[in-house]
Homo-oligomer: A and B are copies of this chain.
Amino acid sequence: MSSGVTIALDAMGGDSAPKMVVAGANIARERFPDLRYIMVGREAEIAPLLAKMPKLESITELQHTDNAVRADERPSVALRSGRQSSMRLAINAVSEGRAHGVVSAGNTGALMAMSKFVMKTLPGVSRPAIATYFPTLRGESILLDLGANLNCNADNLVDFAAMGNAFARSILGIPEPSYGLLNVGSEDIKGHEDLQVAATILRASSLPGHFYGFVEGDDIGKGTVDVVVTDGFTGNVALKTAEGTAKLVNEFIRRTFRSSLLAKIGYLFARSAIQKMRQRIDPRRYNGAMFLGLNGIAVKSHGGTDALGFANAIGVAYDLHRQEIIRKIQADVAHLHGDPSASQAAD
């Protein structure tokens, strides 16, 4: 690899691939001058797109394959029969040391299964998790797990807390993140036994940052803590519920400003401010979920995103490499398991 940062792209993943992937790569290239790409996919489709963007073409190595993982393919099937898929070959580029991270907008389950199989789980991590960040009243927070693990025990939740913590330091730049366990009440007696045990372990641990205790669903939007830790089932439902509610309120507002002539006039005056607010909570800004706990950087983009959203997902992979997230997670996990010198060295 050259001295820059090389990101491998699954050029065939996502609803509008490869066009959206190539256009997104071009946007990210402008933001990060030392970025290089390995694009994996059908040469006949990608090469003509690259030919129109000579600057992008000059920093891109195109790796041809005809095979691609289908959006509805079962992860186990993709793992067995997708060895020559664009997704798998892009992941391989990371494990072979040719790229610093991989980004795909394809099938989430397949990307998780393949990344885990190829990159392997970091020593000491009980299970990998999926994490993302989102806007809150206080700024931005992180939520994990988003669906990699439907059932989680106390050890898994503790590992997620450590990994989310490293993610917050790397991607949000918060030196001492606060973190909490998502529960149905903030009192100590509430919730599953696994939550109780995880809280006890986290209270006794000395991870960087501050263990807040239990948080509830409404604390997610408030931004009560920097890192919200939960099992994959609850996290997936919570994230999608939040997205759905934001859309609902947005739609109510849209209807409100169309409901009368006065409201329409009001909109004209407020338009620039409203557009600024929309940009602030634009879901494309928050595109890019990271698979934490693997020995490599794998970022999942929304399948339905556009070039701008995909460029942001590439930015997440870039930042995580620059911030040495893998080393931070390794240090925190070692720290959790009884090596107190490890975490200090990581920041």
Q: Are B244 and A256 in contact (CB under 8 A)?
A: no
List chain B residues, Cβ under 8 A from A265. Answer: 266, 269-270
Main secondary structure of the interface of A (DSSP, over half): helix
Q: Does A176 contact B (CB under 8 A)?
A: no
Q: Which residue of B is nearest A224, CB measured?
A: B244
Q: Are B269 and A262 in contact (CB under 8 A)?
A: yes
- Given known contacts A251-B137, A253-B277, A217 and B238 CB-to-CB distance under 8 angstroms: yes
Complex Cα spacing A184 to B265, Å: 42
- Given known contacts A221-B247, A247-B221, A249-B249, A233 and B276 CB-to-CB distance under 8 angstroms: no
Least Cβ distance of A194 to chain B in Å? 11
Q: Are B270 and A241 in contact (CB under 8 A)?
A: no
Q: Are B192 and A221 in contact (CB under 8 A)?
A: no
List chain B residues, Cβ under 8 A from A232. Answer: 184
What number of copies of this chain does the assembly contain?
A: 2
Q: Does A222 contact B (CB under 8 A)?
A: yes
- Given known contacts A233-B234, A276-B259, A244 and B219 CB-to-CB distance under 8 angstroms: yes
Q: Which residue of B is nearest A271, CB measured?
A: B266
Q: Does A3 contact B (CB under 8 A)?
A: no
Complex Cα spacing A76 to B266, Å: 55
Total count of chain A residues near the partner, CB < 8 A: 64
20 contacts between A and B (CB under 8 A): A74-B189, A135-B248, A136-B248, A147-B184, A217-B238, A217-B243, A218-B247, A221-B241, A221-B245, A222-B247, A241-B245, A252-B277, A253-B253, A253-B277, A256-B270, A260-B273, A265-B269, A266-B273, A267-B270, A269-B269
Supplied contacts A260-B272, A266-B268, 18 more A-B pairs, CB within 8 Å: A72-B187, A150-B184, A150-B192, A184-B236, A184-B237, A217-B238, A218-B243, A218-B247, A220-B244, A221-B245, A234-B237, A242-B244, A255-B277, A257-B270, A262-B269, A263-B270, A266-B269, A266-B271
Residue ranges of A at the interface with B (Cβ–Cβ < 8 Å)? 72, 74, 135-137, 147, 150-151, 182, 184, 187, 189, 191-192, 216-222, 230, 232-234, 236-253, 255-257, 259-260, 262-263, 265-274, 276-277, 280-281
